[in-house]
Amino acid sequence: MLNINSINFNKFIAATKPKAPNKNKLSIYYYNDTHGNSDQMAGVVEAARNFKKQNKDTAHFVLSSGDNVSGADNKKNSYVFDLMQNIMQVDATAAGNHELDNGAEGLKSAMSGKNIPIVVTNAEFDDDSPMQQITKKSIIKEQNGIKYGFIGTMPIDFEKCTKKIAQEGIEVMDFDDTVEALQEEIDNLKQQGINRIILLSHTGNEVEKKLAENLDGVDIIMGGHSHTVIDGIKQGENLLTSKSNEPVIVTQAGENGKYYGLLDVEFDDNGIIKKASNTLVQSPQSEKSPVLEYIKEQNLGKSPLVAKLKSSVEMPKNRRMEPNAWTNLMADSMRNELDCDIAIINSANIRKMPKIGNLTQRDISETAPMKNKLLKTKVTQKQIVEAIKTAAKETMTSQNGEPGLLQVSGLTYKINDKGDLLEMNFIDKKGNKTPIDINNPSDSITYSAAYDDFVARDDGEYPLMAPKFDVEHFDFDKDDTTIKYISKLENKDNLELIDDKRLEILKTSQPQQLSNSNQKFLNLTVPKAS
C-alpha cells in the first residue's frame, strides 16, 4: 500500500533566484467529454491558452480524454478541432465514442488539416479504415530533455453506446485484451528508455481504476466517458497501486466543460511519481462567449433566428438522472410534428442547454447534435411501462446514471431516487389524464409513439423499446422538429422554459455533497519491494 505523508509546504516555496528547470516536474492541463459544446467550452478554451503561456518554461501538456465532439456535423466538428489545435494547442487526445458519430470517414474529414495526435491502443481497424491514417498506438513527446510516452483507449462498451456507422471497420477490444495491448505498448516504450507514461483513456472511471491496478509502467491515467468528477488526490480512489507496486494517479473532469483539471507531478529519476497535486477548476459558463461566437460565425456562417428565450435552465449535474424542461419541449415537438400519442427521448441525448437571448437554429441543433433518425411506431402499454421501469431502476442505481431516464411527452410518471416506478398517467392531446396500472399494464392497449433509432436498437441501452409493430422512418432528428415547433409558438419571442413536473423524482435519502477542496501537493512514498 502507498503511504501518503503529511504536507510539507516549505518544500514548495519558490526560490528567490533563477535556476534551471527541474526536469522531474510535469504540469498537465486536462479535460474530457466536452461533446462539441462550444458555448460551455469558452472557459476551457481560454484556460488552456493561459496554461500554455504560464508554463512555457516547465514541462507541460494539454490533454483530452476524448468526446471532444458529438454529432454528425463535420463542419461543426472541424471547427471544434480548430479550437483545440489553434487556441488550446492540445498535445494529444483519446478517441471517444462520439468522435465516431459520423463514422471514421466523418472523423477524417473533420480532422483534415489538423495535426492533433489521436492515440488508440486497444482497437483493431480494417486495412482500408481511415482510422489507420488518423490514429497511432502510441506517441512520444519530449520536453526539457525528458521523453514522455502516451497510449490511449477507446471505450470497451463501444458497440453498445454507438450507432452502426461508428462501428464500421473498428473492433474495440474487451477488458482483458485491452490490458494486454496496453501492456505490450508500454513495454515497447520502456524498451526505448521511456519511463514516464500517460494513458489517455475513454473507458470510464471504474474501468480506469482496474487498468491502473492491472498495468505495469503507467504513471497517470487521464480518464473520460463516465463523466466522473474527481478533485484532489485520495488514496484508494484516484491514487492507486500498479501491478509493479508503483503509484498511479487517475483523473477525470466531468463533462460539457463544467470543469477542467490541473495536475502537477514530480517524478524521481526512475520515473516514479513522488509528489502530486490535482485540482479541478469550475469553468465559467453563464453566458455565450462573444469571442467564440464570432469565431463560430466566421467558420460556420450566421444561423437563422428562431425565437428569443426569456428564461432557460441549467444543464443538470447529471443529465441522465434528472428531469429537464428543454428536453420536455423537444419531446413535445416530436409528438406534435409527427402526430403521435407519446414521444420519448433518452436523457443522455441532450448535450447542452440553450442560453437566454437569441435562439438560433444552430443553438437548437447543438442541444441534440447526434443526428439520429426519428421513427414512428406503436408501443403497447406494457412495453412502455416496462421500458420506463427498467430505465429508471438501472439509472438510479448506477454510479454514473447509465443508461439514463426516458423523458416523455404525452405521459407523466413518478419514481423515487432508488428507481422504483410509483405512478404513470397517459395525457391525451386535450390534456385529459388517464391513470395506467403500472403493476398490471395492458398488452393490448397501444399508443402511437415517436422516438429515435438509437432508443429503438434491440442491442442497445433500451432493448425494450425495439419496435414490435410496423415502423415509419424519417430522415431527420429531434432538433428539426424542435425548430419547426418553436417557430409556430405564439410566445416564441418571449419563450420561457419551465419544468412542468411530468417526470418527478421523490427523495428517499439525502444526496452526498461533492468535495471541492483545493488540495496541495502530496508526498507519495512507495514501500520498497520485499
251 and 316 co-located in one domain: no
379 and 483 co-located in one domain: yes
Could you give the CA distance from residue 241 to residue 128 in angstroms, rounded to a whole number? Answer: 39
268 and 351 co-located in one domain: no
Asked whether residue 148 is assigned to any structural domain, the reply reads: yes
Q: What is the pLDDT along the chain (530 residues), one digit of tens a residue?
A: 334 343 343 443 344 445 667 899 999 999 999 998 877 788 899 999 999 999 988 899 999 999 999 988 899 999 999 999 999 999 999 999 999 999 999 999 999 999 999 999 999 999 999 999 999 999 999 999 999 999 999 999 999 899 899 999 999 999 999 999 999 999 999 999 999 999 999 999 999 999 999 999 999 999 999 999 999 999 999 999 999 999 999 999 999 888 999 999 999 999 999 999 999 999 876 566 777 878 888 888 899 999 999 998 888 888 899 999 999 999 999 999 999 999 999 999 998 889 889 999 999 998 998 889 999 999 999 999 999 999 999 999 998 899 999 999 999 999 999 999 999 999 999 999 999 999 999 999 999 999 999 999 998 899 999 999 999 999 999 999 999 999 999 999 999 999 999 999 999 865 444 334 344 456 665 433 33
Per-residue cell: 416: 423515487
Asked whether residue 18 is assigned to any structural domain, the reply reads: no
Q: Compute CA 33 distance to the chain's CA centroid, rounded to the nearest angstrom.
A: 3
270 and 353 co-located in one domain: no
Asked whether residue 41 is assigned to any structural domain, the reply reads: yes
Bridge partners for 279 per DSSP: 262
232 and 87 co-located in one domain: yes
* CATH code, domain carrying 245: 3.60.21.10
- Give start and end residues of each alpha helix (H) in 301-410: 325-337, 361-367, 381-396
Could you give the CA distance from residue 98 to residue 111 in angstroms, rounded to a whole number? Answer: 14
Asked whether residue 5 is assigned to any structural domain, the reply reads: no
Asked whether residue 292 is assigned to any structural domain, the reply reads: no
Number of domains in the chain: 2
- Please give the order of strands across the beta sheet that includes 472-473: 406-409, 342-346, 446-452, 374-380, 472-473
Please give the model's pTM, rounded to 2 decimal places.
0.80
Going from the C-alpha of 343 to that of each of 231, 391, 431, 450, the distances in angstroms are 38, 16, 15, 5
Could you give the CA distance from residue 493 to residue 309 in angstroms, rounded to a whole number? Answer: 7
* CATH code, domain carrying 431: 3.90.780.10
Asked whether residue 163 is assigned to any structural domain, the reply reads: yes
- Give start and end residues of each alpha helix (H) in 309-375: 325-337, 361-367
The region, left, alpha or beta by phi > 0 then psi within -120 to 50, assigned to residue 42 is alpha
Domain hosting residue 365, numbered range: 303-499
268 and 324 co-located in one domain: no
Count CA atoms within 13 Å of residue 352 on its CB side.
31
